[in-house]
Structure 1
Amino acid sequence: MRLLSLLLLALLVPAAGPAPAAGLPDGVTAGPSVEGIHEYRLDNGLKVLLFPDPSKATVTVNVTYRVGSRHEGYGETGMAHLLEHMLFKGTPDHPDIPGEMKKRGMSKNATTSLDRTNYFETFQADPAQLEWALRMEADRMVNSKVLAEDLASEMTVVRNELEAGENNPVRVLVQRLMSTAYLWHNYGNSTIGARSDVEGVEIARLRDFYRTWYRPDNAVLMVAGRFDADATLALVADSFGRIPRPAAAMPALPTREPVQDGERRVTVRRTGDVKVAALAYHIPAAAHADTAALAVLAQVLGDTPAGRLHKALVEGGKATGAGAAKFELHDPGLLLLYAQLPLEGDVDEVAALLVDQVEGLDGTPVTEAEVERAKTALLKGIERQLNDANQVGLAISNLVAAGDWRLYFLRRDRIEAVSAADVNRVAGAYLQASNRTAGVFHPTAEPRRAVIPEAPDLATLLDGYKGRPPVAAGEVFDASLGNIEARTTRSTLPFGAKLAVLPKDTRGDTVRGRISLHFGHEDTLMHTGAAPGFVGALMRRGTTELDREALADRLDQLKATVGISSSATGASVSLYTTREHLPEVMQLVADMLRRPAFDPDEFEQIRLQAITGVQSQVTEPGPVAGRALALHLDHYPEGHPRHVLTFDEQVAAYRAVTLDQVRQFHRDFYGADHAEFSFVGDFDPAALEAQLVSLFGDWKSPDGYERIPDPYRPSEVVDLRRVTPDKPNAVFLFRTDYPMTQDDPDYPAMEVATWIFGGGALKSRLGDRLRQQEGLSYGAGASHAAGILDDNAHFSGYAITAAGNVPRVGAAFREELERLLADGITAEELDDAVAGLLKARAKSRNEDANLVGSLEFQLYYGFTTERAAKYEQALRDLTVEQVNAAIRRHLDPERISTVVAGDFPDGAG
């Protein structure tokens, strides 16, 4: 029957990636096609990539410009990133881009890197939405306003983002490492830019930069998801084809980094509570054949738990984490190796051990088994991307910047062909002391040099490359609430657990699952300490049959990803795999849940990582402010599972917990009789249900389960201030609590009001004031939450800003809140908010990861999609008067608590 259904589907649904059937529009030339992606070129030089996937109910439009920090001139560092911000300021025809996107329920962003800048938006598949997105992107390619008044506010926003990065020890170290590794090439400059350049940027130079690099012959447009290829290509030709190709050629960038002639060392001394050691080695550009072997080498060295660095440093008790990262760039990049260790660790010893592991491979060569394991993990990640057209669209941006989008597929092919000999060869060629950035210069009579080869000619390299047959598309699934309900089957399993299944044909035969376990009573969970949180972490690190490394290998072989988290009252499992492997993955999940190894060495690693994680937060403004607010709102007695601990108390609890306590908690509480199982995707429901009964039918929680209520309790209004020395970025939090459930008639009104007030850093009243108008904050927003069974709600939010600007941020927040209460919202704001919320909810339902979570949520509370439908209708029925009345009933400026944390100058804050 499954084969028959697939054959019938093939008659109704076009294969993934159909090329336009009609003749090409005027001015459009067809280029190569690889695995369902079809390239076209407009006469003005714009390259267009179409990746139709009818099984995806969303569309992603992504425009990549081949301009990043590599292209900046003297005094212009950070200009590419600053310009990225400015392109959200609008054009004469699109004056409010963030507002239009929010109204359409689009998720959007933009990123800037060393080689490129890209802009993307994802939205519910709809020809009108797609047309708006394409015409908007064409418009802002050449017509963005780039005004001095916008620069004045956005410069301070970017400076705030820069300051936030200065709070991160790892980020600062990597920036210093790269600036030392590169003597002349712009890859040594941080993309965020020098503070002086960001503060001193001239509007005329910014406009010149915009006109120089933002042009059709320097851009690649990709449309991925559910759309009509013929209509879309015609629309692209009509909207982008109007833009003329500039007469001036783009500037040449002749700088090439010379061969490194000796070890280099950099030391960063900053306030912090963790230590980091890192090494960097020059490697070839992304197009070079050696990058595949280097990707495998990075996986062999940096993987957790099978990587050599993890085994030597983390399992050896010297570090709490270790890994590798590879910068695959247009020009020769870097291989980065790193380790993080607690404050009391010996960073010089760890740095030396890093060198021994990385540069000692000639004595202990990489084995074929290590290579196969690494390739399996890398290829699993690529295959997972290929099963999601929208993710492919975004992933290809970096390869576009590296030279050509087809490198994405060629890189995969090359990884498949990598052997241990290849990996050991590139290790010997590039992981040399003279190519290392972390040391000092040593004269030697016979120096060795790591000569970095030039990238090959891309036209020759990719000439005739066809790739493979495209991944089979899934069905065209209607993610409306009614269809979801019609396709979903809910049942209670014989052992008491609840099950919801929504089978459907998916791209790549993928399936997602969620499992939620519930256990314990309020009195029996008292004084269980830190043990409950360690159970889930240890479940991911091996079973009685498979140690951590073998378990990770098996999951990679099964193309599966499994996540497990735990708390005092339950555990949650998320899984992703394919139809073929689901039975084996479920067996593994059952073993992880029921028969964890509880390995003593893994326990000590987790404990050390947990302690280091807390220590890393002690001087960070965000965690410090958040913890201060949580401590103030805590109404639970010491020992209660919901009681909030100070940082010191948390560290003490982690030091005190024992492995025996963790084992005992698992024995005393865990079981599946109070569980929810939900699955969405390509699977056999009957076979899955039978397997669940077999795997979990006899596993009952010894203590049973009773939900712990969390009712509203009034708290004193406070204005708290916490000092975090040497942290230029500060955090401002606000919150007020009140009794309300989601069944309250005011709940939809408060959701809409919060969306209008702070539902987006780029477009909301708070975002407009703090970011767009005054440039005080890189990020600011508000949220609203209410209980389902408990009458407990809160309105809260945040802003990040320079420490000296905290008083202005606090005043602006108060003014905007008072304006909301005094003037209320407008009819236009209500219409836009409701439209945006409904579109965002519809888009969310089209992602299987979200859909499977919704089914799990419904099972726990005994809901169907009828509840969601009633809520969405309540949104549609809202009036301005209802929203304004709800705001005034529940928000009182005198009941707002605030917390700020930062290094405040002159007592500010």
Structure 2
Amino acid sequence: MKIYTQICLALCLLISTTVFAGSTTTHPNFIEEKAAGIASYKLANGFKIILIPYPSASSARIELLIRSGSKLEGYGETGMAHLLEHMLFKGAGNRQNIKDDLTKLGARYNGTTSQDRTNYFESVDADPKKIDELLRIEADRFIRARFTAADLASEMTVVRNELENSEKEPSQLVFSALSRNGFNWHGYSRSTIGARSDIEGASFAALQAFHKKHYRPDNAALIVSGNFDSKRVLALASKLFAVAKNPSTEKPANWTLESPQALTNKTELVLSAGTTIAASAWKLPGMKERDAHALELAAASICDSDWGSLRKDIVLDRKLAVSASCFTWNQTDYGRFVAFARADQKTDADSISNEVVKHIQEAAARGVSKEQLERARLSELNSFQKALDSHESVAGLVSRSEAAGDWRLFLWERDVVSSVSLEEANEALKKWVVPLNRNDVVLKHVENATPLVFPKSTDAETRVKGQVWGNIVSSADAAPTSLLAITRSTVKFNLNNERVQVALIQRKTQGDKVWLAFENDYGNPAQLKNRKVSCDAASALMSYGGNGLSRDALSARMESLQAIWQINLAGVYLEVPRKNFMEAFKILISAWANPLMPVVEFERYKASRIAALEAALTDPIRVAENDVRLRFDNYPEGHWGKPKAFPELIQDIKNLSYEEVRKCIQDFAKVSQVRMGVVGDINAEVLKDAWTSTGLSDAASSTYERVPTPLAPVNVDVTQINVTLPGKTNARVTGTTVVPINSKSADFPALQLAIYALGGNSSSLIWLQLREKEGLAYSSGMQISPSVFDNRSTIQLFATASSSNSDNALGSLQSVLMKVLAEGFTPEQIEKAKSAWLQKRKATLGDERGFASILVNSLYDGQDFEAIEALDQKIKAVDDRQATYVLKKYVGQSKILWAVGKGN
């Protein structure tokens, strides 16, 4: 790490890398484009404001988009776009810490860096004053960013730890190699995280210069979506961002393109990883070319996880690998078609690679059928339609398209998907998926090869100019204003008998969707003894078809109904347009009650689980975490929740028979104690008719009885666990205790708040110490996993760090906890935590998708919206003395097991 000699001087330096004037008058703006209910405005300085109104939404989202990502980094600057993203959560203007300001507003926030762009975004409930403040925060971040050399020295170690968390991960190494060997000159050859040497060696001056070059108004945009006053937002945003001026230098641009080459590359990576991976990539045109989208549709016949041919051939039929998949990756300048296969550590990687490539290129040469193309088209259009239900999803599409040149491109892409012909799709496959455009890496000489010539990048405006699109926003009921409002709109009733309970929230949802969570409580302690491994396998296999429908056929039926679904032994989940609810519900429940359980998938499941557990044995973090679970094991033999060591689990799965798995289905895939949580514009009569239509009458042979969890163990060996294994550079440090309390206990609200104040958010004491002050950990905090019924709750402190910093991270975690136990919380710390907790809760009021899960769980444990509101009220009443008392009572008086899992 480079030591800076002028830190004292830099500490006093406020960097304002976008020049701005002092005028406070509202600057003129004009409508640049309008389409599909969205409007964009451009200020005189080139800054763009894009408004996406969703009047029925409960929240608003604000994004600052910078049209520069890692592809525009120069020599010695790799990772700088991402590092700068981290730095811009520091101070700005008079703000000391942007994260604190966002937390006080109850905002859900993040920042991301890709190869094409950098963005910062946050969502809050639709309060005009909060939206105003977010606009001011982003203006300060953009115009008046303030960070120092000391900030860089601290954050550099955090970013380096983020690199270390993935740099030796096998899949990441494979994808990095594909990128390096796929692009000789273009910036897509580099990972966004950057080189370790650049992260460690980047100077403060270089970071300032990078910021000044890229963070300029003609290279940026503000995207506002959700429920907001358009005139108010436009007026304030114009005033705030119009003062920014562009520097005299040219706007950043990318003119580096690949020279056409006809070649096949192949390389070999050797790593102690416990697994075998083979991958290939074919280079494609960028996302502004029809060919990219035509090929994506055509590739579904090979790649789709349900009905594609690759997995069926490589995994199911010939059992060459435990997993095989492929996908297209569309980006601004180039795309890629990537294939990926994984097997156990004894399998020959070259053989897998050859067979995967052979399958894909032969399939591409054959082409796709009309039926396959239409199925892929329907799936893509369904996904697009689903995205329109959420303003945040639409904002993501707009951001990606704007980074590529024009925000309307996502609408053009939809039109392309709708219009691609069978001939066009097959021509794209046959043109681009060929050996001399493939990257496995090792050069091979081919005589008289003609290289493919990639088209020059198309001007985005030519794709959208003159097009007219209808409004994409559908109407919906206004979002609930409180948990009690949700409670008042909840209706509970039984269907036919007491064994089927329903909790329903009837409301018109965005996209007129219905969400249903169906859970069937099954078994009793005697029946479930020693059956977790077999019933887990049964649960996994239930998704592979039922009631006479194969997985492929079931998936096709649900796709035609625009349904998103899951199915397992415990029940089903369904998200579907209201008009298709009855049919989708009947199909899914019938499949659940009559699963196919194909033997070939059982064999694949065993191979995949064994390979995953063998890989876990080489991961020091997972080994240490499992050792912690074993230390707190006071479960009786055969108990559903009893932990096991990895070698024992591997042997259990090797010994598992198909008959044992089938027995779980025979015993438990029957109506026992059914709970349904439903959200949507349907009534009780519709649900009664839907249930009757399934014809389910076959009841379970035994009455359901909850499996009790043993009370918190009293005698635990808390000798520190240290696991060190080769091949990794990162570490995870934990401190764990299991305490005698449940979520309904009188002390729980105060304990929950105390833990939240210590490590539950980005303004908590652990985060501020380890992440912000010391830069030791990429993630850190404290959490509680409470039981609802039994006095057994797990509390854990945690931090991820580089292996070399694991001891420091452990000491820092311990010091934060010991200080609070010794000195107690301050009133300010508890009030800050309460505010963050309640603001976070308020932000969930518009999450219609999550309501069904809360409803179905509440029928089991009583934790409905009214109970959640009661918990929040109790948390509001907690003061610093109560929080300190319960922390000392449950954590201070418990033995904490500290554990370190790290590589070397």
Query: Which TM-score applies when normalising by structure 1?
Result: 0.94
Q: Residue in 1 aligned with 2:899?
A: 899
Q: Which runs of 5+ in 2 are unaligned?
A: 1-24
Q: Residue in 1 aligned with 2:16?
A: none
| Rounded Cα–Cα distance in structure 2 between residues aligned with 1:347 and 1:808 | 40
Once the two structures are TM-superposed, the CA of residue 658 in structure 1 deviates from its matched residue by 2.0
Once the two structures are TM-superposed, the CA of residue 694 in structure 1 deviates from its matched residue by 4.1
Once the two structures are TM-superposed, the CA of residue 166 in structure 1 deviates from its matched residue by 1.6
Q: Residue in 2 aligned with 1:286?
A: 287
Report the 3-state secondary structure (helix = DSSP H, G, I; strand = E; otherwise coil) of the residue aligned with 1:642: coil
| Rounded Cα–Cα distance in structure 2 between residues aligned with 1:314 and 1:370 | 21
Once the two structures are TM-superposed, the CA of residue 697 in structure 1 deviates from its matched residue by 4.7
- Which residue, out of 470, 473, 476, partners 2:472? 470
Once the two structures are TM-superposed, the CA of residue 363 in structure 1 deviates from its matched residue by 4.5
Once the two structures are TM-superposed, the CA of residue 529 in structure 1 deviates from its matched residue by 4.7
Q: Residue in 2 aligned with 1:787?
A: 787
Contact 1:287–1:403 (8 Å) recurs in 2? no
Once the two structures are TM-superposed, the CA of residue 893 in structure 1 deviates from its matched residue by 7.5
Q: Residue in 2 aligned with 1:181?
A: 182
Question: Which amino acid is 2:527 matched to?
Answer: T
Q: Residue in 2 aligned with 1:887?
A: 887
Once the two structures are TM-superposed, the CA of residue 735 in structure 1 deviates from its matched residue by 1.0
Deviations 1:497-549 (A, max 9, x none): 21011111112111111111111111221122521112222221111321111
1:87-102 residue pairs with structure 2 within 5 A? 87-102=88-103
Contact 1:84–1:112 (8 Å) recurs in 2? yes
Deviations 1:212-235 (A, max 9, x none): 111221112111111111111112
Deviations 1:349-372 (A, max 9, x none): 111112112222355221112211
Question: Which amino acid is 1:603 matched to?
Answer: F
1:398-413 residue pairs with structure 2 within 5 A? 398-413=400-415
Question: Percent same amino acid at aligned positions?
Answer: 30
- Taking a change above 3 Å as real, the CA distance of residues 469 and 100 of structure 1, as seen in their structure-2 partners, is closer
| Rounded Cα–Cα distance in structure 1 between residues aligned with 2:808 and 2:63 | 36
Q: Residue in 1 aligned with 2:351?
A: 349
| Rounded Cα–Cα distance in structure 2 between residues aligned with 1:225 and 1:424 | 40
- Which residue, out of 518, 541, 544, partners 2:544? 541
| Rounded Cα–Cα distance in structure 1 between residues aligned with 2:725 and 2:701 | 45
Deviations 1:624-647 (A, max 9, x none): 222111111121233221111211
- Taking a change above 3 Å as real, the CA distance of residues 443 and 813 of structure 1, as seen in their structure-2 partners, is closer
Report the 3-state secondary structure (helix = DSSP H, G, I; strand = E; otherwise coil) of the residue aligned with 1:895: coil
1:102-113 residue pairs with structure 2 within 5 A? 102-113=103-114
- Counterpart check, 1:671 vs 2:674: no
| Rounded Cα–Cα distance in structure 2 between residues aligned with 1:190 and 1:55 | 39
Q: Residue in 2 aligned with 1:220?
A: 221
Q: Residue in 2 aligned with 1:13?
A: none
1:355-370 residue pairs with structure 2 within 5 A? 355-361=357-363, 363-370=365-372
Report the 3-state secondary structure (helix = DSSP H, G, I; strand = E; otherwise coil) of the residue aligned with 2:145: coil
| Rounded Cα–Cα distance in structure 2 between residues aligned with 1:310 and 1:599 | 15
Report the 3-state secondary structure (helix = DSSP H, G, I; strand = E; otherwise coil) of the residue aligned with 1:638: coil
Question: Which amino acid is 2:275 matched to?
Answer: V
Contact 2:45–2:242 (8 Å) recurs in 1? yes
- Counterpart check, 1:72 vs 2:69: no
Q: Residue in 1 aligned with 2:509?
A: 506
Question: Which amino acid is 1:889 matched to?
Answer: K
Question: Which amino acid is 1:742 matched to?
Answer: S
Deviations 1:264-304 (A, max 9, x none): 11211111012111111111111111111122133222210
Q: Residue in 2 aligned with 1:326?
A: 328
Deviations 1:380-423 (A, max 9, x none): 21111111111111233222222221111111111121233222
Once the two structures are TM-superposed, the CA of residue 770 in structure 1 deviates from its matched residue by 1.3
- Taking a change above 3 Å as real, the CA distance of residues 439 and 702 of structure 1, as seen in their structure-2 partners, is same
| Rounded Cα–Cα distance in structure 2 between residues aligned with 1:138 and 1:354 | 50
Q: Residue in 1 aligned with 2:870?
A: 870
Q: Which moved more, 1:650-659 or 1:578-587?
A: 650-659
Contact 2:533–2:653 (8 Å) recurs in 1? yes
Once the two structures are TM-superposed, the CA of residue 33 in structure 1 deviates from its matched residue by 2.0
Question: Which amino acid is 1:502 matched to?
Answer: I
1:644-723 residue pairs with structure 2 within 5 A? 644-695=643-694, 697-710=696-709, 711-714=711-714, 715-723=716-724
| Rounded Cα–Cα distance in structure 1 between residues aligned with 2:842 and 2:418 | 38
Deviations 1:677-719 (A, max 9, x none): 0111233431122222442651322222111121222233231
Q: Residue in 1 aligned with 2:735?
A: 734
Question: Which amino acid is 1:89 matched to?
Answer: K
Once the two structures are TM-superposed, the CA of residue 135 in structure 1 deviates from its matched residue by 0.7
Report the 3-state secondary structure (helix = DSSP H, G, I; strand = E; otherwise coil) of the residue aligned with 2:367: coil
- Taking a change above 3 Å as real, the CA distance of residues 105 and 523 of structure 1, as seen in their structure-2 partners, is same
Contact 2:62–2:123 (8 Å) recurs in 1? yes
| Rounded Cα–Cα distance in structure 1 between residues aligned with 2:365 and 2:112 | 41
Q: Residue in 2 aligned with 1:601?
A: 600
Question: Which amino acid is 1:702 matched to?
Answer: S
Contact 1:494–1:697 (8 Å) recurs in 2? no
Contact 1:266–1:438 (8 Å) recurs in 2? yes
| Rounded Cα–Cα distance in structure 2 between residues aligned with 1:894 and 1:745 | 19
- Alignment coverage as a number of residue pairs: 876
Q: Residue in 1 aligned with 2:584?
A: 585
| Rounded Cα–Cα distance in structure 2 between residues aligned with 1:648 and 1:110 | 40
Contact 2:522–2:673 (8 Å) recurs in 1? yes
- Which residue, out of 549, 554, 564, partners 1:561? 564
Question: Which amino acid is 1:520 matched to?
Answer: G
- Taking a change above 3 Å as real, the CA distance of residues 560 and 767 of structure 1, as seen in their structure-2 partners, is same
Question: Which amino acid is 2:77 matched to?
Answer: E
Contact 1:91–1:140 (8 Å) recurs in 2? yes
- Which residue, out of 505, 528, 534, partners 1:531? 534
Report the 3-state secondary structure (helix = DSSP H, G, I; strand = E; otherwise coil) of the residue aligned with 1:795: strand
Once the two structures are TM-superposed, the CA of residue 207 in structure 1 deviates from its matched residue by 0.7
| Rounded Cα–Cα distance in structure 1 between residues aligned with 2:532 and 2:760 | 36
Once the two structures are TM-superposed, the CA of residue 559 in structure 1 deviates from its matched residue by 0.8
Q: Residue in 2 aligned with 1:390?
A: 392
- Counterpart check, 1:817 vs 2:820: no
Question: Which amino acid is 2:565 matched to?
Answer: V
Q: For the aligned residues, what is the CA RMSD?
A: 1.8
Report the 3-state secondary structure (helix = DSSP H, G, I; strand = E; otherwise coil) of the residue aligned with 1:524: helix
Once the two structures are TM-superposed, the CA of residue 113 in structure 1 deviates from its matched residue by 0.8
Deviations 1:194-214 (A, max 9, x none): 111111000000011111111
Report the 3-state secondary structure (helix = DSSP H, G, I; strand = E; otherwise coil) of the residue aligned with 2:545: coil
Deviations 1:322-349 (A, max 9, x none): 2223332221232211112222222211
| Rounded Cα–Cα distance in structure 1 between residues aligned with 2:791 and 2:894 | 21
Report the 3-state secondary structure (helix = DSSP H, G, I; strand = E; otherwise coil) of the residue aligned with 1:344: coil
Contact 1:600–1:659 (8 Å) recurs in 2? yes
Q: Which moved more, 1:800-809 or 1:824-833?
A: 824-833
| Rounded Cα–Cα distance in structure 2 between residues aligned with 1:616 and 1:60 | 40
Q: Which moved more, 1:691-700 or 1:108-117?
A: 691-700
Once the two structures are TM-superposed, the CA of residue 572 in structure 1 deviates from its matched residue by 4.0
